[in-house]
Amino acid sequence: MAELSNARDTALTLGEVTLAVAWNVRGDPANAALATDAARVLGLALPVDALTSTGIGSVALLWLGPQSWLYVAGDSSTPIDFDSARRAINAAGGALFDVSSSYVAWRVAGAAAAQALNRACPLDLHPRTFRTGQCAQSVLGHVNALFHKPDDGAFIVMVARSFAADAWRTLCEAARTDGYRIVSACPFACAMRAA
C-alpha cells in the first residue's frame, strides 16, 4: 500500500484487513453429520443459500459454492485447533483445508463503495441487489476476487496473495473518481463492524 491517498474529497476509505485464519470447508450440506459437526466445531452453521454468509463476532463462514465455504477469523486467539477441526469434519464426510496464507483482503467503505467497486467488478453491488451479509466471487479488474458485504457501508474484498499488487492498484484506480483515503490495517473482526 505504497500510495498515500487521493487528496480530493474522501468519499471512501481503503484499508487492509488482516486474516488470522482462513479455512476452506468442503462437503455436502445435506449430510446431517457434516452440518452438525461443522457447526459444533466452527461455532457457525454452514450457510446453505447461495451468496450468503453466517457470522458472529470476529468470525464468518462465507458461501463459495454449493459444497464449499470459507471460514475466516481475524483474531489468532480463536480457540479452534485446526487439526482437531479437520479430523472432526473429515470424520463427518467433509474436508477442511488451511488456506490462511493464500489470501489478502481490504475493506472498502463509504457511501460510494459499491459504485467504486463496480468500476472494476461486473457484479451488481447496488444495495437493492447485494445485501448485507452476502458474498460472491467475481473479478476485480482481471483478478479473481471474493466480495463480502459485512455491513451497509462496506465491502471486504479478498484476492489470492500472488495478485495483491494488481488488485490494490485496481482498487485505488476504481476509488480515485470518488476520492479516498487509506486507513490503518485492521483485523477481520474490526472490518466486520460498521464503519
* Per-residue cell: 24: 476452506
pLDDT of residue 78: 61
Give the mean pLDDT of 151-170. Answer: 96
| Chain segment 31-79, per-residue pLDDT in tens | 999 999 999 999 999 999 999 999 988 899 999 999 999 999 987 666 7
Instruction: Report residue 6 as a C-alpha cell.
Output: 487521493
Q: pLDDT tier at 4 (50, 70, 90 boundaries)?
A: very low
C-alpha cell at 93: 464426510
In this prediction, residue 183 carries a pLDDT of: 95
Give a three-class secondary structure readout of the chain: CCCCECCCCCCEEEEEEECCEEEEEECCCCCHHHHHHHHHHHCCCCCCCCCCEEEECCEEEEEEECCEEEEEECCCCCCCCHHHHHHHHHHCCCEEEECHHHEEEEEEECCCHHHHHCCCCCCCCCCCCCCCCCEEEEEECCEEEEEEEEECCEEEEEEEHHHHHHHHHHHHHHHHCCCEEEEEEEEHHHHHCCC
Range with the lowest mean pLDDT among 100-104, 155-159, 189-193?
Answer: 189-193
Per-residue pLDDT band at 116 (split at 50, 70, 90):
very high
Amino acid at 87: R
- The pLDDT of 156-174, averaged and rounded, is 98
CA distance 100 to 4: 27
The pLDDT of residue 91: 98
What value does the mean pLDDT of the chain take?
91
